[in-house]
Amino acid sequence: MVMISLTEILLLTEAAPQDSVLINAVNDKKIIAIYYKGDRENSPGWRTGIIPVCFGLTDGKKYLRVWQTAGKTLTEVPGWKLFRVDRISNINVLSKKTADSVPDSRFNPSGDRQIQNVLAIAKF
C-alpha cells in the first residue's frame, strides 16, 4: 500500500495546469474558467468567461493572454488580462463552448507585446 501525505496531496492539487491543456484551449478557442491564486495586487478567486488567445513565455515564465468577461478582477470586465500560469491552480475547460471571435479589435493575430515567445495563438 502506498501512503500519500496531506502535504503531497495539497501540492498535487496546486500544480499549474499542463501546457498542453492551455495550448489546446487557445488553439480550439475554448471558453474556460480559472482559479487564480492572486498576487500583491489581485486577490485569489475564480476568473470566468475567459477566452484564451495567446500562451507563451517571457523571461522564463509562462503567461496566458485572455479576454475575460466575468469573475474577480481589479480592472473592468470585459477586458484584456494577462495571467502568470504558475499562479493558476485550477482550470475548467467548458468543452461545449467555443469563441467565434474576440469582441475587441485590438487582438493581434501575429503576437503579443508582453509575451516574447508565443507557443500558441488563436486563429479567428
CB 19 within 8 A of CB 62: yes
CB 49 within 8 A of CB 30: no
Report the DSSP pairing between strands 79-84 and 88-98: unpaired
Cell of 123: 486563429
Which pLDDT score is estimated for 81?
A: 94
Cell of 46: 475564480
CB 53 within 8 A of CB 107: yes
pLDDT digits (tens, 9 = 90+) for 9-48: 333 444 455 888 999 999 999 999 999 998 888 889 999 9
Q: Please state whether the predicted TM-score (pTM) of the whole model is above 0.85.
A: no
Decide which of 90 and 12 is more confident.
90
**What is the rounded distance in angstroms from the CA atom of residue 6 to the CA atom of residue 17?**
20
The values of phi and psi at residue 21, to 5°, are -65, -45
